């Protein structure tokens, strides 16, 4: 058993710095590289891609990344764990295998494929059997959106990732899985933690929560003494250095920018947190009120003392469904009286939309530069503002109405208040809204499956 | 005297559907009892009038010198439904740091605090 393993976060979301995973693999010793590709509604995009092309439906960026770093990973024995599989994990694995063969790695690499999360084809059957998949936030019945559902996936935990690693996989690709499971899985595999070792499972879970947003714990988006955080241009993504006893150190590669300290780790711990006593995952329930932090040298924070409780009987399910359309238009008004001009433009625009008889479910006006982020808390804007951006958005089920709205923005330049600009982006795009429906499903209903693909 | 939370804490906010969470972390351990006593869910709800349409829940993390607030119905529907610039609630953190609390003069002196109006 290794004394310590180093799990590096490669990206905090799909769309994070493209170089980050490469710099993690090349910038110092690591054992695992974990990558999160799936935001809440990403699966719906992937389902659409698969409907157009049966070979598609996974995070395409993952494949060229593998081409770039697989030789390094094989040389340095770095294993990769990623939920890049989307709704076509086998397709993703096949594409990675092809790239691995091109790199001369035939016979030298095993790819783990984790599936079982996709329940899109089972919804009617589940409902017929009394598994209602009611909305966790509103308790609404799924029947209200049944005909608009685009994807449905259960969040798998660490167990199938452990199984894949146990079977020798060096690259593990999953569909929907918890971010924390991507970090916890390697720990269970290396240290042999039991499925009911709640304290250690909670520790691994919390390590996952800390590093899953990438640099957001190593100096990025950090409020504590932000101006003194060095060299963010070269920010080091975090690494969890985990020990068999469940304690771990959060750190980053030597020579990188950013800063890992107790405050930066605390900020990430509080991110997207509900009830801290009960952070529920498929693997355990972690208690964030038991976490102890201590500085352990420059850019090193030790995390210990964590307690956990037994996992629940359910898995979370993320369902995505179509929910109308939206569009947002913006224009910039310059001094003097920038705010007054922007408000006047908003009034004119709304009067025109009314006159056209356009109906929307929601219309929102914001004044960026004055009070868009803090609303009434920002107080009255200064009369001397250099510029204010009028930002107006509409949402509704009538696509034609949204489209018509988008044609009313540019005309304000020649038919509205003066000193206006910021229209070079062209007509705003009409966006189809895919909304998120969180639900619960009994664990007994989901069987994960692990296959090994030899390159 | 009135003291702004910006002097006492740093913060991080995020989203879960239409709910924004704001974690408030004491800048120094000795500030935590003051935050615990004065930054109540009720006061936070009042502070976010016009922004938070639902309930505010408060959770305590004495191990981290922090409080976690859930501001329900504050993100215009949240996620992809929201039309807000800050649909993810990432700037609610500093919005909370604008809040002022009343601190007795002797306690303020012990803690080395300046009044809000002096900032």
C-alpha distance from B23 to closest chain A C-alpha (Å): 5
pLDDT score of B114: 79
Task: Find chain A residues with C-beta within 8 A of B79's C-beta.
Answer: 40-41, 435-436
pLDDT score of A40: 78
Average pLDDT over chain A, rounded to whole? 97
Are A376 and B49 inside 8 Å of each other by CB? yes
Q: Which of the four pLDDT bands, split at 50, 70 and 90, describes residue A248?
A: very high
Task: Find chain B residues with C-beta within 8 A of A391's C-beta.
Answer: 85
pLDDT (mean) for B50-57: 98
Q: Does B90 touch chain A (CB under 8 A)?
A: yes
Are B64 and A269 inside 8 Å of each other by CB? yes
pLDDT (mean) for A269-285: 97
SS3 category, A142: helix
pLDDT (mean) for B38-59: 98
Give the B window 47-66 contacts with A, CB below 8 Å: 47-51, 59-66
Q: Select the residue of B18, B80, B86 nearest A41 (Cβ to Cβ).
A: B80
Q: Which of the four pLDDT bands, split at 50, 70 and 90, describes residue A45?
A: confident
Cβ-Cβ contacts under 8 Å between A and B: the total is: 121
Q: Does B37 touch chain A (CB under 8 A)?
A: no
Domains and their CATH numbers in chain A:
5-117+155-312 (no CATH), 320-433 (3.30.70.360)
Copy the structure tokens of residue B84. 């807000």
pLDDT in tens, B61-110: 999 999 999 999 999 999 999 999 999 999 999 999 999 999 999 999 99
pLDDT beyond 60 at A71:
yes
pLDDT in tens, A409-445: 999 999 999 999 998 888 999 999 999 999 999 999 9
Whole-angstrom distance, CA of residue A80 vs CA of residue A33: 5
Single out the residue of A25, A18, A441, A19 nearest to residue A239, CA to CA: A25
CB within 8 Å of A374: residues ≥ 6 apart: B91, B94, B95, B98
pLDDT score of B117: 66
A38, A140 contact by CB (below 8 A) = no
pLDDT in tens, A173-220: 999 999 999 999 999 999 999 999 999 999 999 999 999 999 999 999
Task: List the domain boundaries for chain B.
Answer: 2-111
Q: Select the residue of A267, A291, A364 nearest B83 (Cβ to Cβ).
A: A364
Interface test with A, best of B32, B46, B81, B97 (most A CBs within 10 A): B81
Single out the residue of A75, A83, A107 nearest to residue A164, CA to CA: A83
Q: Which of the four pLDDT bands, split at 50, 70 and 90, describes residue A44?
A: confident
Task: Find chain B residues with C-beta within 8 A of A271's C-beta.
Answer: 12-14, 21, 23
pLDDT score of A202: 98
pLDDT in tens, A336-390: 999 999 999 999 999 999 999 999 999 999 999 999 999 999 999 999 999 999 9
- H or E segment at A286? strand A285-287
Which residue in chain B has the smallest CA separation from A377?
Answer: B95
Beta strands in A36-144 (DSSP E): 79-82, 110-115
Q: Please identify which residue in the block is written with the tokens 């509604």.
A: A41
Residue A364, preceding peptide bond in cis (omega within 30° of 0): no
Whole-angstrom distance, CA of residue A318 vs CA of residue A395: 23
Whole-angstrom distance, CA of residue A224 vs CA of residue A269: 14
Which residue in chain B has the smallest CA separation from A40?
Answer: B79
Q: What ipTM goes with this model? A: 0.97
Are B27 and A224 inside 8 Å of each other by CB? yes
Which residue in chain B has the smallest CA separation from A437?
Answer: B17
Task: Find chain A residues with C-beta within 8 A of B18's C-beta.
Answer: 137
C-alpha distance from B106 to closest chain A C-alpha (Å): 27
pLDDT score of A424: 82
C-alpha distance from A289 to closest chain B C-alpha (Å): 5
pLDDT (mean) for A267-281: 97
Pairing mode of beta strands A171-174, A110-115? parallel
Are A221 and B90 inside 8 Å of each other by CB? yes
pLDDT score of B9: 98
pLDDT beyond 60 at B118:
no
CB within 8 Å of A355: residues ≥ 6 apart: none
Please state the length of chain B: 119
Single pTM value for the model: 0.96
Single out the residue of A8, A11, A7 nearest to residue A214, CA to CA: A11
**In 10 A of CB A47, how many CB atoms?**
23
Whole-angstrom distance, CA of residue A358 vs CA of residue A350: 10
A57, A41 contact by CB (below 8 A) = no
Q: Please identify which residue in the block is written with the tokens 């719906």.
A: A44
Are B70 and A137 inside 8 Å of each other by CB? no
Q: Does B12 touch chain A (CB under 8 A)?
A: yes
Q: Select the residue of A276, A363, A438 nearest B68 (Cβ to Cβ).
A: A276
Are B59 and A277 inside 8 Å of each other by CB? yes
Q: Please identify which residue in the block is written with the tokens 């829940």.
A: B57
Q: How far is CA B22 from CA A247, A334, B9, B89, B98, in A?
A: 27, 34, 12, 9, 13
C-alpha distance from A31 to closest chain B C-alpha (Å): 29
Pairing mode of beta strands A292-295, A301-304? antiparallel
Q: Which of the four pLDDT bands, split at 50, 70 and 90, describes residue A48?
A: confident
pLDDT (mean) for A96-121: 97
Q: Select the residue of A363, A375, A435 nearest B80 (Cβ to Cβ).
A: A435
Q: Does B15 touch chain A (CB under 8 A)?
A: yes
Are B23 and A277 inside 8 Å of each other by CB? no
Task: Find chain A residues with C-beta within 8 A of B23's C-beta.
Answer: 266-267, 269-271, 273
Q: Which of the four pLDDT bands, split at 50, 70 and 90, describes residue A39?
A: confident
Are A137 and B17 inside 8 Å of each other by CB? yes
Q: Select the residue of B63, B77, B83 nearest A328 (Cβ to Cβ).
A: B83
Are B64 and A291 inside 8 Å of each other by CB? yes
Task: Find chain A residues with C-beta within 8 A of B98's C-beta.
Answer: 374, 377
- H or E segment at B101? strand B100-102
pLDDT score of A446: 98
Whole-angstrom distance, CA of residue A40 vs CA of residue B18: 13
Which residue in chain B has the smallest CA separation from A135?
Answer: B17
CA dihedral A25→A27→A29→A35, nearest 10 degrees, is -30
Are B64 and A274 inside 8 Å of each other by CB? no
pLDDT above 70 coverage of chain A, percent: 100
Which residue in chain B has the smallest CA separation from A306?
Answer: B63
pLDDT in tens, B31-41: 999 999 999 99
């Amino acid at each position: 058993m290794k004394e310590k393993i180093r799990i590096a976060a490669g990206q905090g979301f799909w769309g994070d710095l493209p170089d980050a995973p490469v710099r993690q693999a090349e910038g110092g010793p690591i054992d695992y590289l974990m990558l999160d590709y799936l935001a809440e509604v990403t699966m719906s995009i992937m389902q659409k891609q698969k409907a157009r092309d049966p070979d598609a439906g996974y995070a395409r960026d993952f494949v060229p990344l593998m081409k770039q770093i697989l030789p390094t990973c094989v040389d340095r024995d770095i294993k990769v764990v990623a939920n890049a599989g989307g709704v076509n994990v086998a397709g993703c694995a096949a594409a990675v295998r092809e790239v691995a063969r091109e790199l001369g790695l035939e016979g030298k690499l095993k790819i783990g494929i984790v599936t079982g999360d996709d329940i899109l084809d089972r919804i009617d059957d589940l409902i017929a059997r009394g598994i209602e998949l009611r909305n966790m936030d509103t308790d609404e019945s799924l029947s209200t959106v049944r005909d608009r559902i685009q994807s449905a996936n259960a969040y798998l935990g660490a167990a199938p990732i452990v199984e894949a690693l146990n079977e020798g996989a060096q690259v593990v690709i999953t569909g929907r899985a918890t971010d924390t499971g991507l970090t916890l899985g390697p720990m269970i595999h290396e240290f042999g933690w039991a499925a009911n070792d709640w304290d250690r499972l909670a520790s691994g879970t919390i390590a996952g929560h800390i590093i899953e947003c990438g640099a957001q714990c190593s100096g990025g988006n950090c409020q504590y003494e932000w101006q003194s955080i060095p060299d963010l241009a070269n920010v080091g993504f975090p690494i969890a250095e985990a020990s068999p006893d469940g304690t771990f150190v959060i750190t980053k590669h030597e020579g990188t920018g950013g800063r890992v300290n107790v405050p930066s780790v605390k900020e990430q711990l509080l991110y997207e947190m509900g009830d801290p006593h009960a952070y529920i995952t498929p693997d355990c329930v972690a208690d964030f009120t038991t976490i102890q932090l201590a500085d352990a040298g420059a850019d090193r924070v030790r995390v210990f003392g964590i307690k956990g409780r037994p996992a629940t009987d359910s898995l979370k399910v993320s369902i995505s469904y179509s929910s109308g359309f939206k569009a947002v238009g913006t224009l910039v008004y310059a001094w003097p009286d920038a705010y007054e001009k922007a408000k006047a433009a908003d009034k004119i625009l709304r009067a025109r939309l009314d006159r056209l008889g356009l109906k929307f479910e929601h219309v929102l006006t914001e004044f960026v530069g004055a009070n868009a982020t803090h609303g009434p808390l920002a107080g009255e804007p200064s009369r001397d503002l250099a510029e204010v951006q009028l930002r107006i958005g509409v949402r509704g089920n009538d696509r034609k109405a949204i489209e018509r709205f988008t044609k009313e923005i540019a005309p304000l330049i020649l038919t509205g208040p003066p000193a206006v600009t910021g229209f070079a982006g062209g007509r705003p795009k009409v966006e189809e809204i895919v909304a998120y429906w969180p639900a619960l499903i009994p664990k007994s209903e989901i069987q994960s499956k692990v296959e090994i693909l030899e390159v | 005297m009135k003291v702004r939370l910006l002097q006492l804490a740093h913060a991080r906010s995020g989203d879960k559907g239409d709910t924004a969470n704001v974690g408030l972390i004491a800048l120094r351990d000795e500030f935590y009892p003051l935050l615990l006593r004065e930054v109540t869910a009720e006061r936070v709800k009042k502070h976010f009038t016009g922004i938070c349409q639902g309930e505010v829940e408060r959770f305590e993390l004495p191990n981290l010198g922090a409080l976690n607030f859930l501001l329900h119905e504050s993100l215009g529907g949240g996620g992809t439904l929201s039309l807000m610039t800050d649909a993810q609630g990432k700037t609610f953190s500093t919005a909370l740091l604008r809040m002022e609390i009343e601190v007795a003069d002797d306690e303020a002196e012990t803690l080395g605090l300046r009044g809000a109006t002096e900032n």
